[in-house]
């Protein structure tokens, strides 16, 4: 099948690479020439395990190409995926200007029947908006269909999630258009659900909002555990064993970040308000998540005292492991609050340091290893739970620290082990370890 994917971010690039790997002819389009030139040279604009190898393989085999020429790409394709950015506005409303611009260009260019697929995360009603924009820009009436096919990718495991998704959602107004997508996804042999177009659009937001709610709920429980002397990790296990609840996304920590959950929750709140519903539950989810960074910094202040004379090692900057994405990363809040209080911050992240430089204060010093970051530091603050940190040589870490104090924002280590090693250890929703 001839496929055009507009947008070469996480969703577009991974989608295009996987479809090419399944034997389709795919052209990926982006208006940023520098990005296209880099992709042609085999350089990825994002860090995603396995992506570079897949892209290079399919480019070499002639199934995957890159261009800035959207009209040409649309004309040669049977199915056009719109996978451009949909950033939030100040109000929480989703900015659909990029989607509208692509739809207008498709309308001007379309020369025969095509299926237009909204892959971008868009609020309910966007499918009809795309249909209206394309129709308005057509020089002459040409039939087409608009389909909603939301993505459920997790950064760091995007290829796996595309090849082996829990479900494939296809929202279409007629069976013929839906069957075109069924044919495309058939080689994956994964469960598919075919719905009307608005329902598919709501599924995406409802899914992300529910997962965000689970995260905020267990973080609120962690607050209770800290006051009651309970252990949130034991509470999580007891809850997660209930088949109605499950353990996924039930890990207490610094809360959610990234490019999806924050903006999707805000967008659903805004959309609900547009339809006259005050989504108070989701507003509470946002409030709980927003307070997490400040709560950790307050603990750091109480333990260390005045931060003006303190050096703090921050481990992990990306919003989650296995990505270099800094969007809505909790490290941004934590580091800004620490430096504002006068602390000296040395930071280390395996892949995100370069992206972090534009978002963090200039005074932050970037280390080449976690041990270099911790050298003569008064404390370590763990922000991102990279596997590298889970398997640190803690004896070595202890040896380079000025004070053996660790603040664990992701509950990576076990309190009893930290006690045996002689650390003063503070984690989320668990009793602190304070050596005699």
User: DSSP secondary-structure letter at 364?
Assistant: P
Identical fold for domains 2-195 and 292-426, yes or no, is: yes
pLDDT at site 435? 83
Backbone angles phi, psi at 239, to 5 degrees: -70, -45
Q: Which residues, other chains included, contact 306 with Cβ-Cβ below 8 Å and sequence gap of 6+?
A: 342
| Local confidence band at 115 (pLDDT 50, 70, 90 cut-offs) | very high
Backbone angles phi, psi at 411, to 5 degrees: 55, 45
| Local confidence band at 46 (pLDDT 50, 70, 90 cut-offs) | confident
pLDDT at site 353? 96
pLDDT at site 156? 86
Mean pLDDT across the chain: 96
Give pLDDT tens digits for 123-161: 999 999 999 999 999 999 999 999 999 999 888 899 999
**Total Cβ atoms within 10 A of residue 104:** 15
**Tokens for 198?**
């608005």
User: How are strands ordered across the β-sheet holding 25-29?
Assistant: 64-67, 25-29, 2-6, 79-82, 114-118, 144-148, 168-171, 192-195
Cβ atoms of 27 and 13 within 8 Å: the answer is no
For the cut 90, the answer to whether the pLDDT of residue 396 exceeds it is yes
pLDDT at site 263? 94
**Among 348, 325, 234, which Cα is nearest to 48's?**
325
Give pLDDT tens digits for 209-263: 999 999 999 999 999 999 999 999 999 999 999 999 999 999 999 999 998 899 9
- 347: which strand partners? 314, 366
Q: pTM for this structure?
A: 0.92
**Tokens for 254?**
């610094």
CATH number for 2-195: choose from 2.40.128.20, 2.30.110.10, 3.40.50.720, 3.20.20.220: 3.40.50.720
**Stretch 339-349: mean pLDDT, rounded?**
97
For the cut 80, the answer to whether the pLDDT of residue 179 exceeds it is yes
| Local confidence band at 364 (pLDDT 50, 70, 90 cut-offs) | very high
**Total Cβ atoms within 10 A of residue 47:** 19
Cβ atoms of 402 and 376 within 8 Å: the answer is yes
User: DSSP secondary-structure letter at 360?
Assistant: S
Q: Which residues, other chains included, contact 42 with Cβ-Cβ below 8 Å and sequence gap of 6+?
A: 52, 55, 56, 59
**Tokens for 286?**
């946002």
Active site members: 260
Classified by CATH at the fold level, domain 292-426 comes out as Rossmann fold (3.40.50)
Q: Could you tell me the residue ranges of all domains in the chain?
A: 2-195, 204-290, 292-426
For the cut 80, the answer to whether the pLDDT of residue 8 exceeds it is yes
pLDDT at site 112? 96
**Stretch 315-342: mean pLDDT, rounded?**
96
pLDDT at site 299? 97
Give pLDDT tens digits for 372-394: 999 999 999 999 999 999 999 99
Classified by CATH at the fold level, domain 204-290 comes out as 1.10.1040
For the cut 90, the answer to whether the pLDDT of residue 436 exceeds it is no
Q: Say what percent of the chain tops pLDDT 70.
A: 100
pLDDT at site 155? 86
């Amino acid at each position: 099948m001839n496929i055009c994917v507009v947008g070469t971010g996480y969703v577009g690039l991974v989608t295009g690479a996987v479809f090419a790997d399944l034997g389709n002819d795919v052209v990926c389009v982006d208006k940023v020439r520098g990005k296209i030139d880099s992709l042609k040279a085999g350089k990825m604009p994002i860090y995603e395990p396995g992506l570079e190898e897949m892209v290079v393989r399919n480019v070499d085999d002639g199934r995957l190409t890159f261009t800035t020429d959207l009209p040409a790409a649309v004309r040669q394709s049977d199915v056009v995926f719109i996978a451009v950015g949909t950033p939030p506005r100040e109000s929480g409303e989703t900015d659909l200007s990029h989607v509208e611009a692509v739809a207008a260009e498709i309308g001007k260019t379309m020369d025969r029947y095509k299926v237009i697929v909204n892959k971008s995360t868009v609020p309910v009603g966007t499918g009809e908006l795309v249909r209206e924009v394309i129709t308005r820009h057509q020089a002459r009436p040409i039939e087409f269909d608009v389909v909603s096919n939301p993505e459920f990718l997790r950064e760091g495991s995007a290829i796996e999630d595309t090849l082996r998704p829990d479900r494939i959602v296809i929202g279409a107004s007629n069976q013929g258009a839906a069957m075109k997508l069924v044919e495309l996804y058939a080689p994956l042999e994964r469960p598919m659900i075919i719905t009307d177009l608005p329902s598919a659009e709501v599924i995406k937001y409802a899914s992300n909002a529910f997962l965000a709610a689970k995260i905020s709920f267990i973080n609120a429980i962690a607050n209770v555990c800290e006051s009651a002397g309970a252990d949130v990790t034991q509470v999580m296990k007891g809850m997660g064993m209930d088949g109605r609840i499950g353990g996924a996304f039930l890990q207490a920590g610094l809360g959610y970040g990234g490019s999806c959950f924050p903006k999707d929750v805000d967008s659903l709140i805004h959309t609900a308000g547009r339809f006259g519903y005050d989504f108070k539950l989701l507003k509470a989810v946002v409030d709980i998540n927003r307070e997490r960074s400040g709560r950790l910094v307050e603990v750091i202040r109480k333990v260390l005292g005045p931060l003006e004379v303190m050096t703090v090692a921050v481990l992990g900057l990306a919003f989650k492991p296995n990505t270099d994405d800094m969007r809505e990363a909790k490290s941004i809040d934590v580091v800004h609050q620490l430096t504002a209080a006068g602390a000296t911050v040395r930071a280390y992240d395996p892949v995100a340091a370069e992206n972090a430089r534009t978002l963090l204060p200039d005074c932050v010093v970037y280390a080449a290893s976690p041990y270099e970051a911790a050298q003569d530091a008064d404390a370590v603050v763990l922000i991102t739970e990279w596997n590298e940190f889970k398997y640190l040589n803690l004896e070595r870490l202890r040896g380079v620290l000025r004070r053996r104090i660790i603040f664990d924002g992701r509950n990576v280590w076990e309190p009893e082990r930290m006690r045996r090693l002689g650390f003063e250890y503070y984690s989320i929703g668990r009793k602190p370890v304070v050596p005699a």
